[in-house]
Amino acid sequence: MTETLKLFEQLWITTGISNIEWGQALMICVGLLLLYLAIVKKYEPLLLLPMGFGAVLSNIPIAAISGPDGLLGMLYSVGIETGAFPLLIFMGVGALTDFGALIAMPRTLLLGAAAQFGIFTTLIGALALNYIPGFEFSMADAAAIGIIGGADGPTAIFLASKLAPDLLGAIAVAAYSYMALVPIIQPPIMKLLTTEKERKVKMAQLRHVSKAEKIAFPLIVLIMCIIFLPTAAPLIGMLTFGNLLRESGVVDRLSNAAQNEIINITTIFLGLSVGSKLEASHFLHVETLGILLLGMIAFCVGTAAGVLMGKIMYRTSGGKINPLIGAAGVSAVPMAARVANKVGLEADHHNFLLMHAMGPNVAGVIGSAVAAGILLAIVGG
């Protein structure tokens, strides 16, 4: 009988229920919430689903799946610490994106630039939180948190992995959560800052962009990056390489691979790797709440800055530019452009803004990469 009890006792201490801590249980619930948002609400499912599942796996007691010798830990070491996964994602984004709208109306670069204002505002906000007991953000931490305002998940992960790896989980969750909530967060801000007359503005059809222009564009962007901001070269380089694969027309197999197999496989590994940083011991800190709050502020400020720049362009163009497209400058491709189009259609059922909004939308991708390069140059150096 004694031997049997010892056997059951030994079996009991190897079970998850006897070893689980409250923090692990809470983070497993957070992982399940992310799965719910991805599956039921369809909020950014490509990232939230593997991220949520990774959060569940990383908080299973004893298993140590997110440890140095666990699968998720090894994926994190190979793909996140090196920055490889975000860069491969950027290559896929470049291969998937048509820059024609931006080339046809290059002044929309200003909208993409204005929307990055939230990044630097939030950096200051993160440093200001240090005056509250419990918060202790360094300049590098603040820079990594601020990039959430660009609404560009891969850029946020890339910068956080370089400047604040301990905050990566919270930053990634905030970035992708707010990207997923674009249709909910942006419309009230857009309507608050614009008049009905402005929302009804119909923009002229974009000019035709030649193949030569589309091929030259990524090369010009890369050359400018080399000259002015080499620290942004990893992100800009992979983005422009992917776009050149698409527009050259001579490597369809490579372009298709970048658009499909490579970006899909990398997305799975990226999501699981980020989920591994949602381990209770890394995530459950007061700083996490600050990051989530600052991320929301960054996103709202970025949206507002883009719309306000759109209003300025509306005035200077004599009413030819709809300020709603400024909200698309926050980078979340193509969701932010679709939201601008939807709000425009609500004002006038014949007002289609999607192609015009794609200009500032892809400008936002470039803008967030440039902002990351600036922060790396100033803080990382």
Q: What is the mean pLDDT of residues 237-266?
A: 96
pLDDT tens digit sequence for 319-338:
999 999 999 998 878 889 99
What pLDDT, on a 0 to 100 scale, did the predictor assign at position 58?
A: 93
pLDDT tens digit sequence for 137-162:
999 999 999 888 887 889 999 999 99
Residue 362's CB is within 10 A of a number of other CB atoms, namely: 30
Q: What is the mean pLDDT of residues 110-121?
A: 88
Output the pTM of the full model. 0.90
Measured distance CA(222)–CA(242) in Å, rounded: 12
Task: Using alpha carbons, list the distances in angstroms from residue 86 to 91, 235, 258.
Answer: 9, 8, 13
What pLDDT, on a 0 to 100 scale, did the predictor assign at position 257?
A: 97
What pLDDT, on a 0 to 100 scale, did the predictor assign at position 118?
A: 85
Of 278, 291, 276, 298, the residue nearest 85 (C-alpha): 276
Confidence category of residue 63, pLDDT binned at 50, 70, 90: confident
pLDDT > 80? residue 11: no
Residues 6 or more apart in contact with residue 319 via CB below 8 angstroms: 201
Measured distance CA(313)–CA(239) in Å, rounded: 27
Alpha-carbon dihedral 99, 161, 39, 291, rounded to 10 degrees: -100
Q: What share of the chain is helix, strand, coil (3-state, %, to 5)?
A: 80, 0, 20
**CA atoms 243, 245, 250, 253: torsion sign:** negative
Confidence category of residue 1, pLDDT binned at 50, 70, 90: low
Q: What is the mean pLDDT of residues 64-78?
A: 91
Please name the helix (run of DSSP H) or strand (run of DSSP E) that holds residue 288, with its range, or none. Answer: helix 286-316
Q: What is the mean pLDDT of residues 372-378?
A: 92
Task: Using alpha carbons, list the distances in angstroms from residue 97 to 90, 219, 318.
Answer: 10, 15, 30
Confidence category of residue 54, pLDDT binned at 50, 70, 90: very high
Confidence category of residue 3, pLDDT binned at 50, 70, 90: confident
Q: What is the mean pLDDT of residues 201-227?
A: 95
Measured distance CA(180)–CA(197) in Å, rounded: 29
Measured distance CA(126)–CA(143) in Å, rounded: 8
pLDDT tens digit sequence for 282-320:
787 888 888 888 888 888 999 999 999 999 999 999 999
The number of residues in the chain equals: 381
Look-up of token digits 């201490």: 13
Residues 6 or more apart in contact with residue 87 via CB below 8 angstroms: 154, 158, 234, 235, 238
| Position with higher pLDDT, 342 vs 20 | 342
What pLDDT, on a 0 to 100 scale, did the predictor assign at position 218?
A: 96
Of 112, 140, 188, the residue nearest 368 (C-alpha): 112
Q: Extract the tokens encoding 278.
A: 């949602």
